[in-house]
Amino acid sequence: MDMKSLGDVLDEVVKNQELVTFGYNEAIDQVENEIQEAVNKIQLVDEPSIDHESVFTDLKKKLEMIWPQEQLEQSRNELHESFTKYQEILGKLFDNDVSKAYADVDFDYKTINQIIISSLYHDGLFHIADVFLQESQVTDNVSLRTQFTRMRYIITALRARELEPALTWVLVNREKINRNGSKLVFELHRFQYLEIVQKGNKSDAMNYFNAHLKPFSSNRSTEVMKLMGSLLWCGKLETSPYLKLFSPDKWDDLVKELTKQFCNLIGVSLKNPLSVTLEAGAQVLPTLLKDGAMEIELGNEFQFHPVFTCPVSYEESSEANPPVMFDCGHVFCQKTVLAMIEFQNNVHLLKCPICRPVIRHFRILFF
C-alpha cells in the first residue's frame, strides 16, 4: 500500500461526504419551500375558504414524500464505510512505533529549550516564551528578544500602512540591505512617495521624489519614470493608470521582503527553524520507518546544514569521511563502507546492513 492508494481512498471519502452534504441540503431546501408556501396560505386572512387544518395535513403529506430517509441513510452509511476503510489503510501504512526512526542519543535539553525559546520569539509568541522561560529556567536571550520585538513592531505598522518605523530601520541598515541586492529601500520610499501623491500635495511629493527616489534613476529608470507620471494624478490615484502600484498585493510583498531582510541581518532563518524541522520530519518519517536510513529527497526549503550522521557508526561526515549512497538508496559514511567490505573467493563482497542485498555500485554524495 503506497501514498497514491491512500490518496485514492481519501478522494472517495471526500466524494461521499460531498454527496451526503448535497443530499441533505437539497432535501432541506425543498422542506423550507413547502413550509414557506404553507405559511403564505395561512396568512391569507381575506380568504375564508382556506382551511388551516387542511393546509397542515397537506404539508405533512408533502414533507413525508420529500424527505428521502432511506436514501440519506444509505449515503451516510457509505460515507462511514469509506472513512473506516481510510482509517484502516492509514493504520497499516504508518507504523506507530517511531522508536526505530531515531538514534538513542542523549539530548542536550538546555540547547533544545533555547531553540524552543528562539522559535517562540520568531513567531512573536512572547507571552508563551515568558512562561516557558520561567518553567524551563533557561537564561533569556535578551538581544534576540529585542530584535524580534522590533521586527514585529515594524511589521504591524506596515500592515496598518504606517511606513515610518520601517523607513527608520532601513536608514540605519541601508548599506547592508543594498549589498544583499534587495529592493526594500526603493520600495519603502516608493510607497511613501505614493502616499504623499495620494494626499494631493504636489510640492511635498516633488521634494520627496528628488531626495529619495531620484538617486535610483540610473538602475531603476522605468519604475522611476512611472512614479514621475503618477504625479499628474496627484490626489486622485484611485482613478489613475498607476493604481496597481498601490495594490494590497504590493503591500503584502513589502511585508515579506522586510521580514526576509530583517531576519537576514540578525542572522536567523526566515522560516521558523523548529517548524521546518517538524515539517521535514513528518515527510521523511514514513520512509525511515519502512526502509531505515537512506537518502530522502526534500525540497530546498528543508536544506540548511551540510551534515550527515552515519546510522551505523554515528559519526558525522566530513571531507575525509564523506557520505556514500548504495544503489539500494541507503547511505553510510565512507569509513563504515570500507569496514563492511568482505573478501570471499577472491571477490570483494559488500552487503547493505539494512536491506541485505549485495551492493554493486555506490557513489559519494556532495551536500
Among 6-20, 141-155, 275-289, top mean pLDDT goes to 141-155
Residue 3's pLDDT is 62
Q: What is the DSSP string of 6-72?
A: HHHHHHHHHHHHHHHHHHHHHHHHHHHHHHHHHHHHHT-TT-TT--HHHHHHHHHHHHHHH--HHHH
pLDDT band of 169, cuts 50, 70, 90? very high
Amino acid at 62: K
For residue range 175-192, what is the model confidence (pLDDT) as tens digits? 888 887 888 999 999 999
Residue 178's pLDDT is 83
**Which has more confidence, 363 or 209?**
209
pLDDT band of 226, cuts 50, 70, 90? confident
Average pLDDT, the chain: 79
**Which has more confidence, 26 or 4?**
26
Residue 346's pLDDT is 59
Q: What's 275-364's CATH class?
A: alpha beta
**Contact status, residue 293 vs residue 323, Cβ threshold 8 Å:** no
Q: What percent of the chain has pLDDT over 70?
A: 81
pLDDT band of 249, cuts 50, 70, 90? confident
The domain limits of the chain are 3-93, 141-266, 275-364
pLDDT band of 352, cuts 50, 70, 90? confident
For residue range 253-302, what is the model confidence (pLDDT) as tens digits? 999 999 989 988 888 878 887 887 788 777 777 776 666 555 666 766 66
| CA 161 centroid distance within chain | 25
Q: Is 150's pLDDT higher than 90?
A: yes
**3-state secondary structure at position 139:** coil
**Which has more confidence, 43 or 140?**
140
For residue range 72-129, what is the model confidence (pLDDT) as tens digits? 677 777 777 776 776 676 666 655 555 555 555 566 788 888 888 888 988 888 999 8
Give the N- to C-terminal CA distance of the chain in Å, as an integer: 32
Kindly state the average pLDDT of the residues 41-67: 72
Kindly state the average pLDDT of the residues 334-352: 77
**Which has more confidence, 107 or 220?**
220
Residue 151's pLDDT is 93
Query: H helices within 267-351, ranges in order?
Result: 273-291, 334-340
